[in-house]
Structure 1
Amino acid sequence: MNSPNQEENEVSFLAIGENFDPSSSNHYRLTLSGAETKHVTGLTVRKDYTLPFLIVGGAIFMIGLVQGSYWTHRRIWLKQEGDRTVLAAHTNKSWYGFKQEIFELTEKLGISEPIDRRDDVGSSKGEGSKNG
C-alpha cells in the first residue's frame, strides 16, 4: 500500500475474508467488502473423437511389430518335376536353424538331401551371401 502521508510503502496480503500483515507494523488496513464470486474458468473441455482411431491404429501397429520382430516366417515349397522333387524354402530369420530342420525333415521322409544353390553361386562366382 502506498500512502501520501508516509514515506515508506506498506506490504499487505489480501484474500477474501482475510488480511495478512507480514511485518505487523502497518498503519493502514485494506479489506474486501461485498465480494461476489462466480465459478468461471477459461478452460474448454472438448471430446476428442480421434482417440479411438489412434488406439485401434496403435494396436494394429503393435501386433504387426510383434509378428515381424519375434515370430519367424517360414515357407517350404515342394514341386514334382518328372522323376525328381524340387524343394524350395524361405525364412525371415535363423536361416541356419531352418536349414538344419529341412535336413532333418528330408531324412525322416527318405528324400535325398537338398542342395543349397546359394552356396553354389557364392563359391563359383564369388558373389551371393550365405546368410540366406
Structure 2
Amino acid sequence: MFLCLCVIEVSDVMFVFDSVPAVIAVSQEPLIIYSAMIFAILGLRAMYFVLEALKKYLVYLEKAVIVLLFFIGFKIIINALNAMFDLEFEISSTISLIAIFAILGFGVLASVFVGKKQDISNL
C-alpha cells in the first residue's frame, strides 16, 4: 500500500512540473489555466508535507536546494546574456540535469553520512 502511495505521489509531482508550462503554452482561456495551476499546486501541497517530515532527517537538503536555486539563476542569466549579446556560451539541458541530480544527491548523502556523525557526537 505504501508503494502504491509513493507511485501516486510521484506521478502527481510529475503532473505539476509538466502541466503548468504546457497549459500556458497551449491555452489562452484563463479558466483552464487557473484550474490547471490550482490542481498542480494541490499536488505540490502533498509534496511539501513529505519534505517537511524529512527535513529533520535530511539536514543538508535545504542548503543543497539553495545551491540549486543559485545554479538555476546563473543558468537563466547566462541564457539571457546569450540572447542579448549573442554569446557562444550555453549550459546544455544535459549538463543542467546532471548538476541538479548531483547537487540534490550530495545534499542527501551529506545528510545521511555527516548528519549521523553529528548526531552521535552530540550524545
TM interval, shorter chain, is: under 0.3
Q: Using CA pairs below 8 Å that are at least 6 residues apart, which structure has the higher relative contact order? A: 2
> Which structure has more helix as a fraction of its residues?
2
> Which structure has more strand as a fraction of its residues?
1
TM value normalised by structure 1: 0.21
